Every structure is written in C-alpha cells, then in structure tokens.
Chains A and B, each alone.
Chain A
C-alpha cells in the first residue's frame, strides 16, 4: 500500500550543486501530475536542460503517473506499474530535482522563493504552477471526522493511493455507493461492479454525464448502465453519510437510505488554487493566465487544470498538454511569441462499457443553430450534431462512434459539411454517393484520377455523347482507378435527363470485341485462338485491332492457354512488356519477390547493393511488405534484375502480387497459427498468376488482424485449434470493404485448396479490371459458396485443374528477358534526350 510508484529502489537521492557555480536559470514546477511532468519533458526536448536547473515539487511521493488510467487500475484491467509515465530514475537521469511528497505552502513572489511544508525555501527565476485539481466533496453531514479526514470507507477518486485503498476495500466490502454520474463516477461504478460489488449510482443532475450529453443521450446511457446491473438514482442528493467508525450508508434528501460499506465521491473536481491564493496571485475559478500562460506575476505561470484561460478551466489532459507545449516554447525561447488560444475539447472513451465521443457543444445555443439528432434508444445509440454557420460546433456520439474520425476532423479543421446533414452521422446506402448529383456544383471533381468535373461530364453529354461509355471515352472520367464509375454513371444519367443509350459495350469483356466473357472464352477455345492478333482477326468487327483491348485479351489468353499461349509484346501493357511498374517520369519501379514479407540479411544486402549501384533515387517499403526500388531507368532493368538474382514480385501486373503476413506463432505471444509459413506457401503456389485485376492476399495468425487480412482479396485468419477462416472480396484501397467469410477450414492445405479454387473462379468469371470486392457482391457470396463448397455446378475439378495448369506455366519473367530481350529495343529508353520533370524524391 505504501510502495512508491515509479520509485527508486534504494530510496530518494538528491543532487546538490553549488548554486553559485551553476549559471543556469532556476525553473521550479509546483505539481508533478500530467501537466507539470509533461511541461518538464517539453522543456528538456527543447534543450532546456542546459538553460535551466529544474526542480519539481510533487504532493505525492510517487513519480509521475497517468491519472487517466486510474479507472483501469481500479477495474483490475491495468497494473499500477503500467501507468508510470516518469519514474524517479527518469528525473535523476535528466538532471531534474524531484521533491516528491513535499507540499508547497506558498510563493514569495517578491523574494522569488518557494516555501514548502518541510520548511525549505527554494529560490526560482521562473515558476510554473501545475497544481491540478482535487476531488470535490459536497457538504454532507458526517462525511468527515472531527479531524477533518474523510470517514473511513469514503474515498475521492483522484490519486493512486485512493485507488489502492479502494482496490483493497473491494475484497471486504459488498455494497458501494458512487456519488456522481459523470465520467469518473461511471468508471468507478463499473470498476467496482466488476469486482463483484453491488453498486448504486447517485447523481445530482436529471441525467447522466450532463456536462457532455443532452437529456436524451443521458437517458439512453442510463438504460445501458442499468442493464449492467448498476442502480441509478437521478436528481438525488445525499444529505448525510451514515456510520461513526466506518461508512454504513447514505441518506438521500428525499429520505431514502442506501446502505453501503464503500462510498466513492466523484462529484467533480475543483482547481487546486490554494498556493496561488496564499501567494496573492489573481484567482477566479482557477489561476488566471494570459495567452502565454502567465499569471499576474510576470515570472509565475500556471498550466493544466489549475489554470483559467479566457474564462475557461479545462478538466482534460489535451489542453494541459497544449499548455505545456506553448509554455515550453516561450520559456526556452524556441518560440518566444507562442500563444495558447484555447482548446476545442473532444473526448472519446468507453464509459461503463458504452462508447462515447463528444466534442464542442451538445445542444443548440442560438436560434439559427442546426441540430440533428438520431436516437435509437432500443439499440443504445444516440447521435447528434450542432452546426453553426455551416461549421460543426458540436457532436455527441453514444453507442455508435463510427463517424467520430470524420466529425473530429470537421470539428478541428472546420472542413466543409455535406449538404445532406444526415451523412454526418450515418453512411447512407452504398456510401459511394457523397452528395446528391443534382446538388453537386459544376466544378466539383467526379474523377480524381483524371481531374474530370461534373461540368465536363455534362458538357460531353451536351456535345452528343449518348452513353456512359462515350462520355468516359471523351472525358476520361472513370478511366483511372475506376472507383468513380458509379458516380460518373449517375452524373451522365442526370445530365441526359434519362435519355441515356444502353451501352452495349458495357457487357463486353473488352471494348474491341463484342462478346461477353463466357462467349469470348468459348470462341477462343473453339477456334483455337492463341494470340491477341488471332483473336482480333477472328472476332473483332472487320478484324480491327483495338489498343485498349489488348491487355485484357493477353491476360485472358494466358489463363486459357497457360504455356501454350503465343505471346505478343504489343498485346501487353508497358508494365508487362518490361516487367516493372512505369512511373510518372518514365522510369520504372522494381520489386523483387519477398514471399510472405520474409527476407534474409543476404537479400537485404543484395537489394541495397543494387540500389546503390544503379543510383536508385528511392527505396521504399511497399504497402505489401516488400522493397520497392523506384526510379530505375528502363535501360538498366535487365542488369538490375540480373544483379538482384531474385524473382519478380509482380508488383506491376494485373496478377497475383503478394501475401502480407503477421509474425504468426513463431514469435508472437498471441499467434494461434503459423501465418508466416502459410503466407509463404500461398505466395509460392500462386506467384505470377494473371487475373482480371491485381490480387492481394494476407494471412494473420490471430483475429487481431495485424496484416489486415479482413480487407484483402483473399484474407486468411487463424482462429486457433488449427482452424483458419478464409475471407474473400475485401478491399482497403479506393474502396473499403470487409471481406466476406467464405468458409472456416481446419488445415493450411485446405486454405491453399480453397484459395486456389476461389481465385480460379474469379479469374474465369470476373470482368476485366473487376476487383474481387466488386465481383463477390455482384455474383453473391451464397452463390460462390454453393459453387466452391458444394460443387453445385460441377466445376470444382475444372477450377482446380485450371489453376494447376497456370501454376505449372509459371516462369520468372525476369529470368527470361534479362538474358535476352524479347524484342529488339525492349529496354530502350523511351524519352532519350530532354530531361523530364523528375518525381520529387525525399
């Protein structure tokens, strides 16, 4: 009970220096809580250790600890050692004198001395008050003994010592009353209940968390809390604490008696201003400071919860840390003009098991404030926003905080809000249509890849483009990543006022050949068409080749024919022609295969040597856990591959690319399966397989999902006992979609088999450039399950055989073309003379 948190094992040591020999200014901080210690950290970070001799006074004997974490400690979810921020050693190591357990009585601002309760007087040049707050104990008969101490069994909830005592009490007490239905009270109630105590919550206001929530949200929270088994008494004041030696209960004003053997008072906090008052500083609710956190004495500052800035006193840590930053800037001279202009307070936390996020105001304050509320009491969800002059000035989210990121951004930055306000709180329909098409201004960008505005699309329609495809060809809208295609379609339909021609090409696999994929594949097989030019000659209108169709046909033919495909370089996109990814300055990026993200020192050395030898301007770790050599000159590609001596990682193709993995069971203490090995096995088996669009996979060793398997084309998740979940159709790119659970299987071999089956089914049935996240919902998960798991169409054996044929046809493209170019000048520079604007490289 008496251990010093963050203490030095051998006890306190102090550093003494001869004052006269130390040229540094004396900086004294009164208060060793979240604000004071953070301020010292900020000063040290700015090199303030050379400017200042720093002394910190702390009431408590402990080092600096995270007061926010007291609730988890009380709940038994965190150990007290985990909440130490700065131990005594930290102060010693940084040359800071910590006077822990020494209470400061007053300042002599004239003599510039700090008088402490131990009788010492410490001189200062700059003094910072960071005395924080204390628990407010409402006046109740019997709450204190004659000596002024709280009646045994009654606790505030502010310090580690109080927390320790309460924790000890939980083992011998059975009934608790918590006074105060704010954040802290709710957390205390939940924590005590978790220790098996019967808990009653008494709150003086008509609804819970009244500082943050409106009445309706408070009512919903009350139901959630009550459903946990905690009794809630609103509008209730305790007038008397019962018991003489130890607390026995409380008497409410309405005469009711609540028995208890533990009473927690969490009825709010008050700024600790005693020292400031005794020192003659200006104090209102808190110590009054200006925008540089200076009190009315020019050498005394105040930060954190004890400070009152522009009328506001904050009870949150974020403003305290902002204070610390500004004051450190000012005092160290890093930025002598730094100013603190107030905080916009936002909180996000879990209260009694319920997610709560609040920011700004919670109710409309002016006549023309917009106020939007969505309330679903049954689901325990309540959300509201307050909008003033088209800016978000407040939001409350209870039970559903999915929109908190967007709202926080809008709140902090004042970013524009959607016309349909409801979108602030919920994602409507498919989430793709951000605002109504008719409401979009003409200059709003529809296609971000190609910079096409709504106006340009409407112009194309006005110029006679009668179909979505024609508009896309004319404007290039939707021809980048393709994620805007649905919106392009909507804009076209709107601009044409319904008069949109049916786009026959929409169902074609590629635009140049008027056949859907199944018919095209059938014709290719029937007529034994093994090259792109043969397909055009046989199936295209007039035998005409079509540039944009070539790449899709090449991919399809490789899948259909495997090794028997007849390659034609002009049928390939440049990436496939040189097996590297073209960059915007005409150079290429080279990504060697690193299976499952696992590499070796030898591989790393080799990559580093190659990067140096060829003066690669940037080496970057890709999103797929590989190393990307960016800016390789086209003519250097064969030599780069040769020197690397590693296979292509296919980072450029519409093909199987990579398998992200977490560390799995080898080293991770949570790993339930060997995800690393399974990732390597998957990548080995399916390397280089062509497909309608890129295929990115991941395997994770437990549902913590460190390698993001839930948002991959195929994601595999170990769930223990040798079982693996296989998800399909996930995405985390331009579209975000959690994959659908296809099946749970019980061996890595089964994962490999099912993955191959799914990929082959996708390869055979998806449209060109259709990612799995569009394919799976289009075809339907249930249908895919029936086909792949129940063999409802009798194709499983064919799928397995088709995939195996492609696997057998794998050859490393670098190995082929590095030795001998496939065509004359395959690696000849395409921009030989004039230097082009280079991609800026960090």
Chain B
C-alpha cells in the first residue's frame, strides 16, 4: 500500500501548546482503505512508546497508541463506558485500560472483559513519520 505524499510535509502538532483542536488532513487517492477515508493526523514522534495521544481525523476523535513492541493501535478517543479519555490510559500487549474506571479493552476485538464497550478501532499506520488513520 502506498500513500500519497500529499500529506503535509510537516504536519502541525495541534493541541500541544494551544489546546486548539487538531485538524486532520484527508489523504486523497490512497489505495482504498477498507472503510472511510484516510487522514494524516500527526507525527509518529508525538506518540512515545507505551503511551497514547489523541488526534482528530476529520470530525472523529481518535486515540493512537504505540505499544512497547512498536505496534500501533487506534481507537475511539472516549471510553464507551463513561466517556473517559482513553489516550490517558495504560496499555500492554493485550489491553488498553481507561483511566477513569479502569475498564479494559482488548486490542484484538475491542471487547471488554468488564462488559463495557465494544470499543471502536481504526486502522492506523505510519507513513514517512506521519500517522495515518482510516475512519
């Protein structure tokens, strides 16, 4: 799969200083992602290993996580249980844990052993240092 280089060369890192909402940029002409459109949401370097950060893809809030083994995951940003900020959650290779009430969600299928959810997941990949999320 190739991605057009129409993604901005130096995507802004919104929200860091100003707190303004991120503005995702559509990446047209990509080899049809399975669902929706592809958005370059930010720099890969913005997501440190083991942590998550929130971005906006179009009008969708997404949380992007980089696990310690390098794997990338993207999910809806708000916890399906009570709207908690999932990007602030803790991760391991199997689950993401929401910081508000500690509901866990499996990366594999978005299901929660605690009965919440399911959690919506989005395809995410890194292209030339840019995070691309399909929503």
Q: Which residues of A contact B (CB under 8 A)?
A: 449-450, 473-476, 479-480, 512, 533, 544-548, 550-551, 568-571, 573-574, 577, 582, 584-586, 633, 635-636, 823-825, 827-834, 836-837
Find B88's partner among A480, A586, A633, A836 (CB 8 Å cutoff). Answer: A586
Find A551's partner among B22, B53, B82, B90 (CB 8 Å cutoff). Answer: B90
* Minimum CB–CB distance for A529 against chain B, Å: 16
Find B77's partner among A473, A476, A479, A831 (CB 8 Å cutoff). Answer: A831
* Interface-facing stretch out of B3-11, B94-102, B121-129: B94-102
Shortest Cβ distance from A449 into B: residue: B101
Contact indicator per residue, chain B 102-114, by CB within 8 Å of chain A (1) or not (0): 1110000000011
Q: Are A832 and B55 in contact (CB under 8 A)?
A: yes
Shortest Cβ distance from B49 into A: residue: A570
* Minimum CB–CB distance for A641 against chain B, Å: 16
Inter-chain pairs besides A574-B89, A577-B51, A584-B82, 18 sampled, C-beta below 8 Å: A476-B101, A533-B68, A545-B68, A545-B93, A547-B96, A547-B104, A548-B104, A573-B99, A574-B99, A585-B83, A586-B84, A825-B16, A830-B54, A831-B54, A831-B77, A832-B61, A833-B77, A836-B83
Within 8 A of A (CB), among B69-98: 77-78, 82-93, 95-97
Q: Are A834 and B78 in contact (CB under 8 A)?
A: yes
Known contacts A474-B113, A547-B104, A830 near B86 by CB under 8 Å = yes
Q: Are A476 and B102 in contact (CB under 8 A)?
A: yes
Q: Are B48 and A824 in contact (CB under 8 A)?
A: yes
* Chain B contact surface mostly: loop
B33 close to chain A: CB less than 8 A: no
Q: Are B97 and A833 in contact (CB under 8 A)?
A: no
How far, in angstroms, from A829 to B19 measured CA to CA in the complex? 7
Q: Which residues of B contact A (CB under 8 A)?
A: 13-19, 21-22, 45-56, 59-61, 63, 68, 77-78, 82-93, 95-97, 99-104, 113-115
Shortest Cβ distance from A549 into B: residue: B92
Shortest Cβ distance from A476 into B: residue: B114
Find B61's partner among A474, A584, A825, A834 (CB 8 Å cutoff). Answer: A834
How far, in angstroms, from A582 to B17 measured CA to CA in the complex? 19
Shortest Cβ distance from B48 into A: residue: A823
Residues on the B chain within 8 Å of A830, using CB: 52-54, 63, 77, 85-88
Find A479's partner among B13, B46, B52, B102 (CB 8 Å cutoff). Answer: B102
How far, in angstroms, from A439 to B74 measured CA to CA in the complex? 46
Q: Are A548 and B88 in contact (CB under 8 A)?
A: no
Q: How many A-B residue pairs have CB under 8 A?
A: 138
Residues on the B chain within 8 Å of A833, using CB: 21-22, 56, 59-61, 77
Known contacts A568-B50, A832-B61, A833-B56, A635 near B17 by CB under 8 Å = yes
Q: Are B82 and A574 in contact (CB under 8 A)?
A: no
Residues on the B chain within 8 Å of A571, using CB: 50
Q: Are A825 and B13 in contact (CB under 8 A)?
A: yes
How far, in angstroms, from A550 to B88 measured CA to CA in the complex? 14
Q: Are A633 and B19 in contact (CB under 8 A)?
A: yes
Residues on the A chain within 8 Å of B47, using CB: 824-825
* Minimum CB–CB distance for A830 against chain B, Å: 3
Q: Are B50 and A569 in contact (CB under 8 A)?
A: yes
Find A831's partner among B61, B93, B96, B97 (CB 8 Å cutoff). Answer: B61
* Minimum CB–CB distance for A576 against chain B, Å: 11
A-B contact pairs, 12 of them (CB 8 A): A450-B101, A473-B114, A474-B115, A476-B114, A544-B92, A547-B95, A577-B88, A823-B48, A825-B48, A828-B46, A830-B63, A833-B60
How far, in angstroms, from A544 to B69 measured CA to CA in the complex? 11
Residues on the B chain within 8 Å of A551, using CB: 90
Shortest Cβ distance from A586 into B: residue: B85
* Minimum CB–CB distance for A573 against chain B, Å: 7
How far, in angstroms, from A833 to B50 measured CA to CA in the complex? 23
Residues on the A chain within 8 Å of B101, using CB: 449-450, 476, 480
How far, in angstroms, from A551 to B17 measured CA to CA in the complex? 28
How far, in angstroms, from A533 to B78 measured CA to CA in the complex? 27
Q: Are B99 and A832 in contact (CB under 8 A)?
A: no
Known contacts A450-B101, A550-B90, A828 near B84 by CB under 8 Å = no
Residues on the A chain within 8 Å of B90, using CB: 547-548, 550-551, 570, 573-574
How far, in angstroms, from A551 to B99 measured CA to CA in the complex? 12
Known contacts A633-B19, A832-B61, A570 near B88 by CB under 8 Å = no
How far, in angstroms, from A577 to B47 measured CA to CA in the complex? 14
* Chain A contact surface mostly: loop
Find A829's partner among B15, B60, B113 (CB 8 Å cutoff). Answer: B15
How far, in angstroms, from A571 to B90 measured CA to CA in the complex? 8
Q: Are B92 and A546 in contact (CB under 8 A)?
A: yes
How far, in angstroms, from A479 to B98 measured CA to CA in the complex? 13
Residues on the B chain within 8 Å of A837, using CB: 83
How far, in angstroms, from A684 to B102 measured CA to CA in the complex? 33
Q: Are A574 and B61 in contact (CB under 8 A)?
A: no
How far, in angstroms, from A633 to B15 measured CA to CA in the complex? 11
Known contacts A476-B114, A479-B102, A584-B100, A832 near B88 by CB under 8 Å = no
Shortest Cβ distance from B17 into A: residue: A635
Residues on the A chain within 8 Å of B13, using CB: 825
Shortest Cβ distance from A470 into B: residue: B113
How far, in angstroms, from A715 to B45 measured CA to CA in the complex? 48
How far, in angstroms, from A573 to B95 measured CA to CA in the complex? 15
Known contacts A570-B50, A574-B99, A832 near B92 by CB under 8 Å = no
Q: Are B61 and A547 in contact (CB under 8 A)?
A: no
Shortest Cβ distance from A569 into B: residue: B51
Find B46's partner among A450, A475, A825, A834 (CB 8 Å cutoff). Answer: A825
Which of B19, B55, B85, B89 is most buried by chain A, counting CB atoms within 10 A of its CB?
A: B85
Q: Are B77 and A570 in contact (CB under 8 A)?
A: no
How far, in angstroms, from A568 to B68 measured CA to CA in the complex? 11
* Minimum CB–CB distance for B18 against chain A, Å: 8
Return the 7 tightest CB-CB contacts between A and B, nearest first.
Answer: A570-B50, A830-B85, A830-B87, A574-B88, A586-B85, A635-B19, A547-B92
Q: Are A475 and B50 in contact (CB under 8 A)?
A: no
Residues on the A chain within 8 Å of B21, using CB: 832-833
How far, in angstroms, from A586 to B52 measured CA to CA in the complex? 14
Shortest Cβ distance from A638 into B: residue: B17
How far, in angstroms, from A585 to B88 measured CA to CA in the complex? 12
Shortest Cβ distance from B13 into A: residue: A825
Shortest Cβ distance from B96 into A: residue: A547
* Minimum CB–CB distance for A588 against chain B, Å: 10
Residues on the B chain within 8 Å of A582, using CB: 85, 88, 99-100
How far, in angstroms, from A270 to B11 measured CA to CA in the complex? 89
* Minimum CB–CB distance for B54 against chain A, Å: 5
* Minimum CB–CB distance for A828 against chain B, Å: 5
* Minimum CB–CB distance for A533 against chain B, Å: 6
How far, in angstroms, from A480 to B84 measured CA to CA in the complex? 15
Q: Are B48 and A828 in contact (CB under 8 A)?
A: no
Residues on the A chain within 8 Å of B59, using CB: 833
Residues on the A chain within 8 Å of B55, using CB: 832
Shortest Cβ distance from B66 into A: residue: A570
Q: Are B45 and A824 in contact (CB under 8 A)?
A: yes
Residues on the A chain within 8 Å of B86, using CB: 830
How far, in angstroms, from A547 to B97 measured CA to CA in the complex? 7
Residues on the B chain within 8 Å of A475, using CB: 114-115
Residues on the A chain within 8 Å of B54, using CB: 828-832
How far, in angstroms, from A273 to B78 measured CA to CA in the complex? 71
How far, in angstroms, from A585 to B84 measured CA to CA in the complex? 7
* Minimum CB–CB distance for B98 against chain A, Å: 10
How far, in angstroms, from A497 to B115 measured CA to CA in the complex? 24
Shortest Cβ distance from A583 into B: residue: B100
Residues on the A chain within 8 Å of B63, using CB: 830
Residues on the B chain within 8 Å of A569, using CB: 48, 50-51
Shortest Cβ distance from B56 into A: residue: A833
Shortest Cβ distance from A479 into B: residue: B102
* Minimum CB–CB distance for A11 against chain B, Å: 69
Residues on the B chain within 8 Å of A635, using CB: 15-19
Which of B16, B50, B52, B77 is most buried by chain A, counting CB atoms within 10 A of its CB?
A: B50
Shortest Cβ distance from A822 into B: residue: B48
Shortest Cβ distance from A575 into B: residue: B99
Which of B18, B49, B96 is most buried by chain A, counting CB atoms within 10 A of its CB?
A: B49
Residues on the A chain within 8 Å of B68, using CB: 533, 545, 570
